[in-house]
Structure 1
Amino acid sequence: MKPFATPEAAPTAIGHSTNLVGVPMDFLAHAGFNDQPVPLHISGVREMNPALFEMLSLAADLAEAGEAFTCYMMAMFGIDPEQREEGRGNGQRRYRSSFLRLIKGWGYDSNGPEGAVLKGWVESRFGIFPTFHKAPIRQISSRTWTTYVEEKMSSRFHNNAIYVQLDLLYEFCQWAFGRFVAPGASHLTLYRGVNSFEEHQIIERIDKHNVLLRLNNLTSFSSDRDIAGCFGDTILTAKIPVPKVAFFNTLLATHPLKGESEYLVIGGECRVHASYF
């Protein structure tokens, strides 16, 4: 497929009028935010978890901070291995949803149920609607949207304050950037391989290789251009604002996305450079 095939008209509604990060959604989802990003914080998360950030402040490096974060999450949400073992006497496994399970599911299929929950979290906290889930979402009154809503609200993943877990993960991610990973940095150069623009809506063609896209509300990028090339013959290169990174591959010592140098990026409008691998 040619990089800039004519898209269908993008929907006018791109999100809710409110969110939990204190920045107007129209600005947050606009390319202007990417040009001049401001720090983002999910309301109340740091204030309600002072013990976590006190622990993090004592960490000597990212590995130590990641260990502290993991211990805190295990204690708060009971998702350590012992509490996932067989139930007492009934032979049934007790299941408690966890952010790690969602990330693992995203790694297998970003359009699966776990992907819907993650996109639902972005919609809830940042106010940005998804543009794709199994198929392009062109309007809310559609079967595609209904499928997304059914999957994002599945009780299978909402039995353990899963959005609160993701809130903490986002805030830890942002803390880690500011403390250890990229202090003072406003943007990261990231890459995404695609074979078509079905998942992302073309808003404007700037020139032969540059285009303004509306990214899905949560999108995978890679910090490694060669790895991105494994997922499509067109490479999108983007300057991603640090506040729009929800998770990255070296944040925690053990997780299922480490081998792909993957970053989970909150969507909205984004200028990208497209080139053939």
Structure 2
Amino acid sequence: MALPARSLTKSTKPSATQQTDAPWIGHSSNLVGVPTLFLASCDFNETPLPLRISGVREFNPELFEMLAKAENPDEAAQAFLLYMNALFGLDPEQREAPPPGHPRRYRSSFLKLIRGWGFDSNGSEGAVLKGWVESRFGLFPTFHKEPIRRISSPVWTSYVEEKMSSRFHNNSIHAQLDLLYEFCQWALVKFFAPGAEHLTLYRGVNEIEEHYVYERCGDGLVRLRLNNLASFSSDRDVAGCFGDTILTVQAPIAKILFFNDLLPTHPLKGEGEVLVIGGDYRAEARRL
């Protein structure tokens, strides 16, 4: 994973409370104790605060006691998976047997969601993940199959139907994702990026206009709004496989949900792929 690099800067810095020209940003409240407008802003990204989802660590002390004993990332990953398997019944032998004559129904798993995102971030699994970000961080998605510009539009209705699908919500899937986020944050601080506030990440796009672009600051610097959950790569060459324009951002550690090296199962198919919670970012945009 790339080490932090210098922050992107510009000549004038907007206030965190200043409204942008995008249609809307999110809910007035969230579960991380930081105002949503500030959480979504470039100001937060450049001077981030640690984030904690309310109650997760307090209600799962056994997990973090196990993690404290881990001497390396592999031991930590095994402890996390053992805890998740025990708590949510993810092992095959722990799945409930169906009644006679009924098909077997598997319990929903965060691993299946991450794997589904890797195949299609606009699929049903992607909707559930975006819905979790909306629920916990207060940030609305800006894209799901097509741009989402207002609530009650057909595209918004389709997103809501997919994010609430009962086949994904039969096993406390939001609680699973809460623990995944908290474990990811713990692992980044402990093993993967100790002392760092940012990671240098890359995203390949075919057209910069795929995102809401608020400002072009010269020398390839832009201010734009990312979807509430977006894929990046820690490898610039890999990002170049997905578009001829490379966005380089300084992503706050606090906005990382998942990266491939976190678990040995590698549910994401892309090398160096990282799931980043969105909002407004300053980025360097360079054509290959």
Relative to the length of structure 2, the TM-score reads 0.90
Residue type at the aligned position of 2:251? I
Alpha-carbon deviation of 1:83?
A: 3.4
RMSD of aligned alpha carbons: 1.5
Equivalent residues in 2 for 1:182-261, closer than 5 Å: 182-197=193-208, 199-257=210-268, 259-261=270-272
| Deviation string, structure 1 residues 23-65 (Cα, Å, up to 9, x no partner) | 0111000100011000000000000000000000000001100
Query: Is 1:20 aligned to residue 40 of structure 2?
Result: no
Equivalent residues in 2 for 1:39-188, closer than 5 Å: 39-84=50-95, 87=98, 89-90=100-101, 92-188=103-199
Relative to the length of structure 1, the TM-score reads 0.93
Unaligned runs of 5+ in 2: 1-19
Q: Higher mean Cα deviation, 145-154 or 85-94?
A: 85-94
Residue type at the aligned position of 2:132? W
User: Does the 8 Å contact 1:30/1:268 carry over to 2?
Assistant: yes
Q: 1:32 pairs with 30, 37, 43, which one?
A: 43
Q: 2:22 pairs with 5, 11, 23, which one?
A: 11
User: Does the 8 Å contact 1:199/1:215 carry over to 2?
Assistant: no
Q: Higher mean Cα deviation, 194-203 or 13-22?
A: 194-203
User: Does the 8 Å contact 1:10/1:138 carry over to 2?
Assistant: no
Distance in 1 (alpha carbons) for counterparts of 2:36 and 2:171: 28
Alpha-carbon deviation of 1:115?
A: 0.1
SS in 1 for 2:71: coil
Alpha-carbon deviation of 1:207?
A: 1.3
Alpha-carbon deviation of 1:108?
A: 0.5
User: Does the 8 Å contact 1:131/1:199 carry over to 2?
Assistant: no
The aligned residue for residue 3 of structure 1 is: none
Alpha-carbon deviation of 1:109?
A: 0.3
| Deviation string, structure 1 residues 64-116 (Cα, Å, up to 9, x no partner) | 00000000000000011223587465462221001000001000100000000
The aligned residue for residue 269 of structure 1 is: 280
The aligned residue for residue 12 of structure 2 is: none
Alpha-carbon deviation of 1:206?
A: 1.1
Distance in 2 (alpha carbons) for counterparts of 1:17 and 1:199: 26
Structure 1 runs of 4+ with >4 Å offset: none
Distance in 1 (alpha carbons) for counterparts of 2:65 and 2:283: 38
Count, aligned residues:
269
Distance in 2 (alpha carbons) for counterparts of 1:78 and 1:64: 20
Distance in 2 (alpha carbons) for counterparts of 1:124 and 1:88: 34
User: Does the 8 Å contact 2:23/2:150 carry over to 1?
Assistant: no
Alpha-carbon deviation of 1:186?
A: 0.3
User: Does the 8 Å contact 1:20/1:42 carry over to 2?
Assistant: yes
Alpha-carbon deviation of 1:200?
A: 2.0
| Deviation string, structure 1 residues 160-198 (Cα, Å, up to 9, x no partner) | 000000000000000001111111100000000011245
Distance in 1 (alpha carbons) for counterparts of 2:81 and 2:210: 33
Distance in 1 (alpha carbons) for counterparts of 2:266 and 2:141: 25
Distance in 2 (alpha carbons) for counterparts of 1:19 and 1:103: 22
Q: 1:61 to 1:75 in 2, by over 3 A?
A: same
SS in 2 for 1:69: helix
Residue type at the aligned position of 1:16? H
| Deviation string, structure 1 residues 240-259 (Cα, Å, up to 9, x no partner) | 00000011110001122154
